[in-house]
Amino acid sequence: MMQIFHGISNLSNSSGGPTNFLCELTNRLNSMQISKNLIFAFNSDDNNDGFLIPPIYYKSYIKKLYFNRSYLKDYPVTSNTVIHHHGLWQIPLLSSFIFSKKYNLPFIVSPHGMLEPWSLRQNLILKKIAAHVYQNIILNNADFLHATSLNEARNIRNLGFNNKIYVIPNGIDTSRYISLKSHDYNSKQKKILFLSRIHQKKGVEVLIKAFSLLDSKLRINYVIDIVGDGDKTYIGFLKGLIDKFSLQNFISISCPVYGSDKIKLLQDAYITVLPSYSENFGNVILESISCGTPVITTKETPWEILNSTNSGWCIDQGVESLFKCLDYVLRLDQIDLSIISNNARKLATSYDITLTAKMHTEMYRKALNYSYDKSLIVEYE
């Protein structure tokens, strides 16, 4: 049986998409009993909820520099072991790389959007130093790089990395979302939902400004729930915008929710809006359409398929573009919305975690030089 060691800096719920996906992926891989998957995490916030095999946490800063041998007694390294690291810019990446070299193991890196142009512009000087000192060496020596979309693969290649890049989208257990109740489009006051990290990258201020431009007779039927964790300064800025446009009775900002509470929030929403400046994937989009809740997002995400399948709206990033889309969507009748909702559910099944897990399995088999199903994984040229 293959054995996959997954390295990640942070498994806390607040870290968002990579944590949620890694939980889904490792659980499904372990339940399929094709490979044994163990997570080595480096944050001190123990989060064992939902993991079939509890992650191993390194709480000592010194121990972040290497995999502690005592942990490997129950999971000895074999010729079937692969190291798969998730995320960049932190010491755990170096730890995973050193471990792979020490035992001569295949090494795969998933940047999870951290090499996207928008992300690279943040803390630019520090990232240039880190890239020069150690990170580019590690990435150039990885056996494979994993991208969650063709857009992300293209951006990685444009940075000059010549490794094999395999494109495998994130996935979720869609059955947990689809089984919930259907939408009530006739409710008196309908909710527009933003559900993600409250971060400048997500463009929350664009939603507030676009909503403020709507005709007051249309706007009175809707409220916006902004749900998530984030930087206090940015949240303060958003609250200032809400006050500036006198939208206190229409827009609320609340703490993040998880598990079944999160799914219910998505299910009860009229639409979900993610007006991001950059997304390598956008997990909440998949979660929302799995519930049958249509999504408005931007072309800075890899979700233009929403347009071609009539499952939602993928638009230019900006206030004017979002205002026009909201003005159109919020006037749609129940029949049209029901058709889009059904299309969204159908599209979501293409991203079920079982298929995603099979695609990862084939990538791991390829890394170990086993025979593999070429039809299940896309290599970016």
pLDDT in tens, 205-238: 999 999 999 999 999 999 999 999 888 999 999 9
CA dihedral 18, 191, 270, 283 (to 10 degrees): 0
Looking at the structure, do residues 117 and 217 belong to the same domain, yes or no?
no
Of the candidates 278, 277, 297, 298, the residue with the CA atom closest to the CA atom of residue 287: 297
Tokens coding 84: 């798969």
Whether residues 234 and 149 share a domain: the answer is no
CA 381 to chain centre: 24
Same domain assignment for residues 119 and 251? no
Do both 68 and 201 map to the same domain?
no
Q: What is the mean pLDDT of residues 255-276?
A: 92
Residue 158, domain CATH:
3.40.50.2000
99 and 188 share one domain: no
Q: How many domains does the chain have?
A: 2
Render pLDDT for 316-351 as a digit per residue (tens, 0 to 9): 999 999 999 999 999 999 899 999 999 999 999 999
Taking each helix axis from N to C end, the angle separating 283-290 and 259-268, rounded to the nearest 10 degrees, works out to 70
**68 — pLDDT class (breaks 50, 70, 90):** low
**pLDDT confidence of residue 65:** 46
Same domain, 25 and 82: yes
**Domain co-membership, 143 together with 223:** no
* Residues 327, 278: Cα–Cα separation, whole Å: 24
Which structural domain range is residue 108 located in?
Answer: 2-171+352-380
Please tell me the distance from the alpha carbon of residue 117 to that of residue 292, in angstroms, as a whole number.
31
**Which DSSP category does 298 fall into?**
E
pLDDT at position 71: 58
Q: Is the pLDDT of residue 148 over 80?
A: yes
Average of per-residue pLDDT values in the chain: 88
Tell me whether residue 248 is exposed, middle or buried, using C-beta atoms within 10 angstroms of its C-beta: 0 to 12, 13 to 18, 19 or more: exposed
Q: Are residues 356 and 324 in the same domain?
A: no
Give the largest CA-CA distance in the chain: 66
Taking the CA atoms of 123, 47, 273 and 189 in sequence, report the sign of the dihedral they define: negative
